[in-house]
Amino acid sequence: MREAVGPCSIRVASADAGETTRVRLRRSFARGDVATWGYDEARAARAVDARTVLESARSVICVAIAYATREPVRAPLEGRVSCYAWSLDYHRTLVAMLEKAAAGIDAYAGAHVTAVVCDTKPLAERAFAAGAGLGWVGKHTNLITPEAGSFAFLGEIVTALELASDAPLRKDCGRCTRCVDACPTGALRGDYTIDATRCISDLTQRTDGIPRPMRALVGTWVWGCDLCQWVCPPTQRAAIAGGPAFEPVSRRTAAPDLMSLLRLRSGEYRRDYEPTAMGWRGAAVLRRNAAVALGNLLDRAAVPALADALEHDPHPMVRGHVAWALGRIGSPPAIGALRTRRPKEGDPGVREEIDAAMTAQA
């Protein structure tokens, strides 16, 4: 049984997030902070106005739900997954809960006066939540709630009802820069903004190649990253309060064996990962991430599996990252696998990756 979602906080905001949020988002998009997601400045205008979700919107009921659960002890060749993705897809869990509440509001009003959002529509969720007093946006750009720190899922019920708005919290991060200092890629600027194109969470979810200079910085993360949240003092003080709904589906979702993940195919992907928040990018993305993680572990025991993937993986993107991993490990068998594959490789991008990997060891 996974129905219980754990502690939940509810506040109300007005239907417009305000000019400050509008300007902040416009500047973020203009800088290219979220370039890999294809967002443009027009999205900023839509995201701050709940009427783009519900034309008659007057208020936004903002909900924050604690989701952190106990982290597993990992074996040497197991990868890391951000804890939001361990469980069944939180979007479905929260949407089901919010839709049930929205149906009650509609019944009370005697008309359809609601629309549900959970990271599924262009709505500036953190800005609305901060405006409603659920928490404040930290320097890591996540919402920090008093109850759960930043390990809180956000959802909204946009409604045509005129509800009294709650006051925002008078809090910020002060001089604390722990999240900024902990970020391996320098994605956090320290001014409450982020270059998401450098964020490990973004890098592990993109569908093209991870830029070569960034790969060594990804570490063993195969989906998302929690480093900036773990070091956040309010999050460290918060209880591990996620309910049964957010427990890991299996060890494969919380601490995946990297060798097995490197061999992941569509059937296993549909069974093990598609029901989770990792289920929208495809098996090749997870295989690519496993290759990068194995390269960063520098464990020569991974060379036979990487060599096999270089020969047989059907996706050029994966083979290219496998070549990088073999070059990073750099043992004689690893370099031998690269030399063996080079004359047989038909994809020019993969050949370039093989050449770069061998050159790095020359």
Crossing angle of helices 303-312/332-341, nearest 10°? 10
Both structure tokens of 154: 């956000």
Q: 36: exposed, middle or buried (C-beta count within 10 Å: 0-12, 13-18, 19+)?
A: middle
Report the distance separating Cα 263 and Cα 315, nearest Å: 12
Nearest 5°: the CA angle 150, 152, 156 is 125
Report the distance separating Cα 163 and Cα 166, nearest Å: 9
| Neighbour count for residue 233 (Cβ, 10 Å) | 14
Q: Which of 16, 106, 119, 355 is catalytic?
A: 119
Q: What is the CA radius of gyration of the chain?
A: 22
- Is 195 assigned a catalytic role? no
Q: Is 70 left (phi over 0), alpha (psi -120 to 50) or beta?
A: beta
CB 6 within 8 A of CB 241: yes
Going through 273-324 in order, the beta strands assigned E by DSSP cover none
Q: 80: exposed, middle or buried (C-beta count within 10 Å: 0-12, 13-18, 19+)?
A: buried
Alpha helices in 183-302 (DSSP H): 200-205, 212-218, 227-230, 233-237, 251-254, 258-262, 266-272, 283-297
Report the distance separating Cα 76 and Cα 304, nearest Å: 17
Crossing angle of helices 316-329/332-341, nearest 10°? 150
Crossing angle of helices 283-297/303-312, nearest 10°? 140
Active site residues: 119
